[in-house]
Amino acid sequence: MPPASDLDHIPHLPTQPLVGHTLLSLKDFLGFARRNTQAFGEVYRIKMMGRWRISFTSADAAEYILMDPDHIFSAKQGWHDSLGTLFSGGLMLRDHDDHRQHRRIMQAAFRKPAMDSYLALMAPELDRMMAGWPVSRRLSFYPAIKDLTLRLGAHVFMGLPADTPEAQALSRRFIDEIAAAITVIRKPLPLTKYRRGVRARRALLDRFHALVETRRQGDGADFFSQMCRATDDEGRHWSDAEIAEHFNFLMMAAHDTTASGLSSMLAALTDFPDWQDRLRAEVDALGAGPMTPALLEAMPQTEMVFKEALRLVPPVALIPRVALRDFDWNGIRIPAGHPVSANITMVMRSPEHFTDPDRFDPERFSDNRAEDRNHRFAWMPFGGGAHKCIGLHFSMMQVKCFTRALLSRYRVTRDDNAPVRWKRLPIPQPKGGLPVILHPRP
Ligand code: HEM
């Protein structure tokens, strides 16, 4: 680790004894980032979990870091502290040529025919699950959507019937693994979450590994089967161990982000019932048949609302990297070896790109306003460059299926009138769980 004195020329706000800025940032991530930006502009440093991290808050800087034209940024080292041990081998834990090769293979599992088969698996199952949600009484939305997306994942990602004991056991292990990834104690000491997570990882990898051969020979439409059969254009494929690692990572990358995004979207729909009515009208206009790729295209307003929810509460608040060589940003020398991050939360709150940026206003994504096109990196909840989220379209598809299943059945109100407050790190979740009431439609 390079010495902190390398960074003396990069400004920072006063630190608190022992904890640096950790508590300030955890308590009010957006407010703290704003105080820094007001004081220092687009580059400053914060001390989180004992390490200095250099934060970049402009779209230009985010573009430079994520497009990486000089090939100097490592995603692997950037994500190592949080994901390196439990999710090693995943795409975000790979760099440059190695990453490119692995991503090309994974791309096969996201081509159009594969996506259509996920849609065919997902839409009816989502519909069935949501028909079973409790009506006319308090429902804590965040835990409910986490549970639903996990059970749905067993079906769409693994091709297992959602409510079987095996699917439930996999879900429990998966919850332990993710809990370990975000815990403070990062050694597998007895009785710690970390130890449970490390064990869960081993059990998951063993299970995935054991399934590879049969899935490779079969014609399953689920994600895991598609990944077992995936090859790049030159016919290269992964080893069994690599498939297990990639799948383990993919489940993690897909799960909490989607649950977080759906929660901020639902919070907005209950805060702005006029938008809920607009989306319900859009859903009703689809008619009663099964969900199809063409119907997904007929939901532009749902897409605008989801985009706005992700702009205001991005599931990945900042994207970490480590510079492998010194670089210069607008006259400031950034020494190699220190963590840097593109603070996408701040980029997407910038008045330079978005009118009245704190306001919920999905129309800003309409064709005639298109504020997201003011800068290539103005709207970037899915990142950008080589590591840009490979699941973006999958995520949009899932949100549209969810919106249709929800709003064709229910009108949704909040069970409290308090503004939703967010715990932003490591992945945003609504404090209090977002209590809502589903009212059956006549
Ligand atoms: C609202 C939902 C989601 C959000 C906001 C989101 C956000 C992101 C972001 C910001 C990155 C880039 C990280 C970086 O540059 O270091 C990323 C990467 C990734 N995401 Fe997503 N994601 C979402 C859903 C999904 C889903 C549904 C899947 C899979 C079906 C998925 C799979 C991945 C994978 C595999 C990567 C690594 C790509 C690479 O390194 O090449 N994500 N995601």
Closest of 352, 376, 355, 377 to residue 366, by C-alpha: 355
Decide: helix, strand or coil at residue 402: helix
* Confidence at residue 166, expressed as pLDDT on a 0 to 100 scale: 85
Run of H or E including 367:
none
State in Å: Cα 417 to ligand 1 middle: 33
Residue 162 has pLDDT above 80, yes or no: no
CA angle 308, 311, 314 (to 5 degrees): 125
Q: 51 by DSSP, 3-state: which?
A: strand
The alpha carbon of 92 and the centre of ligand 1 are apart by a number of angstroms equal to 9
CA–CA dist 289, 261 (Å, integer): 26
Tell me the CA–centroid distance for residue 72 and ligand 1, in Å: 21
Average pLDDT value for residue range 175-186: 81
Selection from 314, 326, 283 nearest residue 123 by Cα: 283
Pocket test of ligand 1: the residue of 73, 389, 403 to mutate, having most ligand atoms within 8 Å of its CB, is: 389
Task: Write the residue with the smallest CA distance to atom 6 of ligand 1.
Answer: 382
Pocket of ligand 1, beta carbon within 6 A: 75, 91-92, 103, 250, 253-254, 257-258, 261, 310, 315-316, 319, 381-383, 387, 389-391, 394-395
The contacts found for 227-236 with CB under 8 angstroms, 24 or more apart, are 227/106, 227/109, 229/108, 230/105, 230/106, 230/107, 230/108, 230/109, 231/105, 231/108, 232/101, 232/104, 232/105, 232/107, 232/108, 233/104, 236/101, 236/104, 236/105
**What are the tens digits of pLDDT across the range 143-160?**
999 989 888 888 888 888
Q: Looking at this protein, which amino acid is placed at residue 157?
A: F
For residue 261, the CA-to-ligand 1 centroid distance in Å is 12
Q: What distance in angstroms lies between residue 336's CA and the mean position of ligand 1's atoms?
A: 26
Distance from Cα 381 to the centre of ligand 1, integer Å: 9
Residue 426 has pLDDT above 80, yes or no: yes
For a pLDDT cut of 90, what percent of the chain falls above it? Answer: 73
Q: At what angle do helices 240-271 and 193-217 cross, to 10 degrees?
A: 110
pLDDT in tens, 247-304: 999 988 898 899 999 999 999 999 999 999 999 999 999 999 999 999 999 999 999 9
The helix or strand, by DSSP H or E, that contains position 22, with its residue range, turns out to be: helix 22-27
Residue 305 CA to residue 299 CA, distance in Å, equals 10
Residue pair 134/438 in contact (Cβ under 8 Å)? The answer is: yes
Q: Rounded distance, CA 200 to CA 211, Å?
A: 17
For ligand 1, atom 32, name the residue with the nearest CA: 391
pLDDT tens-digit readout, 72-124: 999 999 999 888 889 989 999 999 999 999 999 999 899 999 999 999 999 99
CA-to-CA distance for 215 and 307, rounded, in angstroms? Answer: 35
Q: How does strand 339-342 pair with strand 51-56?
A: parallel
pLDDT for position 85: 85
Question: What is the predicted pLDDT for the residue at 433?
Answer: 94
Highest mean predicted confidence (pLDDT) among 60-69, 177-186, 424-433: 60-69
Distance CA(269)–CA(362), nearest Å, equals 11
For position 181, what pLDDT does the model report? 81
Q: Domain residues of the chain, as ranges? A: 4-432
* Per-residue pLDDT tens digits for 181-233: 877 777 778 888 899 999 999 999 999 999 999 999 998 888 899 889 988 88
More confident residue, 2 or 293: 293
Q: What is the CATH number of domain 4-432?
A: 1.10.630.10
User: Given ligand 1 and candidates 79, 122, 257, which is best to mutate, with the most ligand atoms within 8 Å of its CB?
Assistant: 257
Give distance in angstroms: CA of 384 to centre of ligand 1.
Answer: 10
